[in-house]
Amino acid sequence: MVENELTDILKRAFEYKAAGNFKQAIQYLYKALEYDQESSEVLAEIAGLYFELNNFEKSIRYYEQALLYDTENINIKFKLANVYKQVNLVSKALPLLISICEKELKPVYLAELMNLLYLESDFEAVIEYFEKYNLSNVKNASIYYYTGASYLALGNTKKALELYKEAVEFDNSDYDIVYNCANLLYQEGQYKEAAKILLSNSYAKMNHKTFALLGDICISENKTNEAIEYYSKACRLNPRNPLYYYSLATAYSVNGFLKEAEENYHNAVKLSPNNLFYAYTLALVYYQMKQISKAKEKIKGILAINPDNINALTLKARIATDENDVVSAEQILKKVLEKEPENDYALYIRSQVYKKLAWWEKALETINLAIKYNPNSIEYMSDAITYNISSGNYSEAEDLCFRILKKDPNYIFAYVSLTEIYVKQRKFSEALENIEKTLELDINTDTAYIMKATIYRENELFDQAIESAKRAISLAPDKNEYYIFIADLCYLNKKFKDAERYYKEAAQYDPTSVYAKYRVALSAQRTGDYKEAAAYYSMANRLNPSNTDISLDYANCLCQTKQYKTALRILQKALDFSDSTEKTQKIMEKNAYIKNQLDEQMFGFQKLIDNFKKNTQKNKKEK
């Protein structure tokens, strides 16, 4: 009778368990305990049900009770160890698993022991178990994975990768194992194999981590369009991950889509407002979009949180350099480089400060330091080429060009710079040959046409030079210096009307250009348009009153229309700015000439008056 009742109770308990009604099942198992309080099986069942209900405290209590009545029961030990692991009681779980493995070495038990040892950072013990039991013939993915992870933690990447691959080969259904193997392959530069292994998992295409890693792989392979596609999928699958938006924004930025980059950097900042690096990248893209006020505002916000933020300070220095505030830029960079003397980007910006000041030696010394700390930066080497050319170090500049072309055989700037070097050395045949190579790479390279025009100009082939310069302008109509270039050519070729027109274009694109306005005046004066010339001399003189050459030419122009008093006033101001005896003498000579003209003018006027009076008196007498 008792046996039948117990059987019915246990049957009802297991029916409730099968239906997922764990609380009701536990109630019936409590009733079963009334018949046998020392039943390890019933106690273990109650413990298991409490585990399902996430009541780990009671689960442990009942498993421990079950183990008291059946001390050698491996199944109970293993389950209790699992609950201990859930509540981070690793010190209690480990002895249980060790005793289990000593009694019965099943792969599933050993894998769990190795997992716990790995979580405890006892990497040597994991490897020791692997070698101790000679598990090379055991095809358990977890065992190979934890051993590989331990080798990786100890710095043996080669062995780790070997074991990871074997783990995937044994079982590619475990996404974590597959992902970590693919990630290690990616870090080791084995991009195609990484993608292949990652996509071998059936769950991979549903996991956001898959597409984030595929995006990283594509970025490493310079496939930015594909990277954008993968990062976008990662964002859609997990729209709360700021790193995905940051990666997507970076891919857009590399591809030149700054508006999209701004939007996604903004999303990253919104999701992680305390991440100052994300805030910095948003400030940087504002800078790249020439939204300087927004960039400054974001930098200000970063520095309000961390006044010593190196990235924000360096970008602030770059903006100050662009705005010709070289004093502020240098003060900021000094602070940055005191903290990080090997900060290559800060050194790069400082070299640009020196460039603004035309301190070529310092600029070159500083950019060379930046290259020392970041020898793979083509941008730094490009600046070093410019500084070397400006300093007359043509062989050093040429070596840098070839270094860049070794890294990137299609880098246009290096070809154009080589041409400039050959022109400076008057190696015109080499220069022309090199520029043709450049145009073969890209027929729409405006700088190549300007260099071609320079070659023609140096060989006094002015018509060809002008045509090449016109092609450069058609490709880059917003570059003020190209209008200056072609205008200078026209002026040199005595085509003053054309020169005047191009100088005016240059002045329109850059209203602060003293040179352009001055040259408009010179060209107009050569065509006899003194009124136009005087108007542009006046503008140039107002922009740069200390330029005595402009003042002298302006005075000469005024003299052409006999505006001697205005000319004298211009020359009087010029005397205040004269910085050499020679210039002072020229001004004084011109001054004397004008005064003489005024005296003659006055003498002629007085003579006219005297004659008028004399004739008037004569007429009166005759009457």
Distances (CA, A) of 573 to 238, 282, 552, 566, 577: 70, 49, 11, 11, 7
Cβ–Cβ under 8 Å, residues 111 and 143: yes
CB environment 462-500: b (16+ within 10 A), e (fewer): beebbebbbbbbebeeebeebbbbbbbbbbebebbebbb
CA 211/CA 199 separation, integer angstroms: 10
Each residue of 392-424: b (16+ CB within 10 Å) or e?
ebbebbbebbebbeeeeeebebbbbbbbbbbbe
Q: Give the closest residue to 225 by CA, choosing from 257, 194, 259, 198.
A: 257
Amino acid present at 537: Y
Torsion of CA 533, 539, 545, 549, to 10 degrees: -20
Q: Cα 335 to chain center, whole Å?
A: 22
Looking at 78-92, 527-541, 576-590, which range is the least confident one? 576-590
- 508-535: average pLDDT: 90
**What is the Cα–Cα distance from 163 to 384, expressed in whole angstroms?**
46
621: confidence class by pLDDT, cuts 50, 70, 90: low
Distance CA 489, CA 470 (A): 11
Write the DSSP string, 267-286.
Answer: HHHHH-TT-HHHHHHHHHHH
Rounded CA-CA distance 365/372 in Å is: 11
- The two counts, helices (H) then strands (E), for the chain are 35, 0
Dihedral in degrees, nearest 10, Cα atoms 515, 516, 522, 523: 150
Distance CA 285, CA 298 (A): 11
443 to 447, 449, 451, 622: CA distances (angstroms) = 11, 9, 13, 89
pLDDT, position 137? 65
Between CA 365 and CA 353 the distance in angstroms is 13
Whole-Å CA distances, 321 to 277, 300, 465: 22, 17, 34
Which of 111-120, 338-347, 369-378, 610-619 has the weakest average pLDDT?
A: 610-619
- The amino acid sitting at 439 is L
Mean pLDDT is lowest, of 238-247, 306-315, 360-369, 606-615, for 606-615
Mean pLDDT of 518-546: 90
Q: Which of 198, 202, 265, 209 is nearest to 233 (CA)?
A: 209
Q: Would you say 513 and 506 are in contact if contact means Cβ atoms under 8 Å apart?
A: yes
Query: Residue 615: what pLDDT?
Result: 57
> How does residue 25 score in pLDDT terms, banded at 50, 70 and 90?
confident
If you average pLDDT over residues 238-266, what whole number do you get? 95
pLDDT bin (cut points 50, 70, 90) of residue 565 is confident
Cβ within 8 Å of residue 542, ≥6 positions away: none
Q: How far is CA 247 from the centre of its chain?
A: 12
CB atoms within 10 A of CB 228: 24
Q: Is the pLDDT of residue 136 over 90?
A: no
pLDDT band (50, 70, 90) for residue 343: very high
* C-alpha triplet 126, 128, 132: angle, nearest 5°: 125
pLDDT at 59: 92
Tokens of 202: 């059936």
Which domains can be identified in the chain, with CATH numbers? 211-307 (1.25.40.10)
Burial class (CB in 10 A: 0-12, 13-18, 19+), 37: exposed
- Residue 203 in this model has a pLDDT that exceeds 80: yes
Q: How many CB atoms lie within 10 A of CB 191?
A: 18
What is the token pair recorded at 63? 């498993």
Rounded Cα distance, 423 and 176, in Å? 60
